[in-house]
Amino acid sequence: MNPRVHRSRVTHDRWLVSYADFITLLFAFFVVLYAFAKADEKRRAEIPTAIDRAFRSLGVFPDGSSNPGTQANDSPFKDQPESLLNIVTSEDVTSPAKVKDDLENIRNELEKTLSNQVAQHAVSIQMGRDGLIISLREAGFFNSGSAKPRPETLNTLRQVAASVGRTSYDVRVEGHTDNLPIHNLEFDSNWELSSARATAIARIILSLDVIPPERLSVAGFAEFHPVASNATAEGRAENRRVDLIILPRPKLNFAAAPVSASDGPWARITDATP
């Protein structure tokens, strides 16, 4: 064999070149993610402070300091998990002060247009935790044990829809009963009666073609949300009602998991007392 002829050496380390390229690309990817995260950090920190100041201006939260430069660490949101602080990402959030003014204007307008029904105690109008509450008492709008509204209901709902239809707020129709069991040919329980009454009122509102369907919702609560004692006939009469709740509609983006009413102060836009 010719000593000058050398056998070629086969290397088994060529995979290191591809591996090095992959690691380099992976590193660049995480650098880009980190850069995006740092860019949003300042904005995320400013949102809780802005919401905190808005609520303090309404007196919803106690104002522990008159210093307008309240820091985010002093916010009532400070005890919330960071994931909850990240859910409000929209800059176009309805001002709580504007919501309160709008609801007060609707209340004043309806107290004038529905003055006869209010005087007869068929309708009551008051501010609640969720928004403006317009209560339609059973005695003025339904026969006992029936979910069919009386003819005079249409005129009342037309006036309510005219006031609310000029705004962007939602309407939740809630049916309520007293705690006396019901069992007739049409309804087996107060759940069914309360839901049927709320649905009937909602159908009338939809027929007026003033409030878009997407702004309307229905709920039946049976006897479990009383406003008076069921121990007396007068109290039970107050509990048999259909409530129209005028709800603020803030433009919020809930990007995280669903949040319950106990998960943060933003669950209630206003907490005005009657």
Q: What is the pLDDT of residue 88?
A: 40
Res 58: pLDDT? 53
3-state secondary structure of 216: strand
What pTM did the predictor assign? Answer: 0.60
Residue written as token pair 């029904």: 117
d(CA 65, CA 258): 32
How far apart (Å, rounded) are the C-alpha atoms in residues 266 and 269? 6
Q: 84-120 burial by CB neighbour count: b if 16+ within 10 A, else e?
A: bbebbeeeebbebeebbebbeebbebbeebbeebeee
The per-residue pLDDT string of the chain (274 residues; one tens digit each, 9 = 90 and over) reads 555 555 556 566 777 778 888 888 888 888 878 777 776 666 666 667 766 666 665 554 555 444 444 444 554 445 544 443 443 434 444 678 888 899 999 999 999 999 999 999 999 999 998 899 999 999 999 999 999 999 989 999 999 999 999 998 999 999 999 999 998 889 999 999 999 999 999 999 999 999 999 999 999 999 999 999 999 999 999 999 999 999 986 544 434 444 444 444 334 444 444 3
Residue ranges per domain, the chain?
A: 15-85, 96-249
Q: What backbone phi and psi angles, to 5 degrees, belong to 132?
A: -85, 130
Please tell me the predicted confidence (pLDDT) of residue 51.
Answer: 67
- Cβ atoms of 180 and 205 closer than 8 Å: no
The pLDDT, as a whole number, for residue 141 is 95
Q: Which fold has domain 96-249?
A: 60s Ribosomal Protein L30; Chain: A; (3.30.1330)
Cβ proximity of 80 and 265 under 8 Å? no
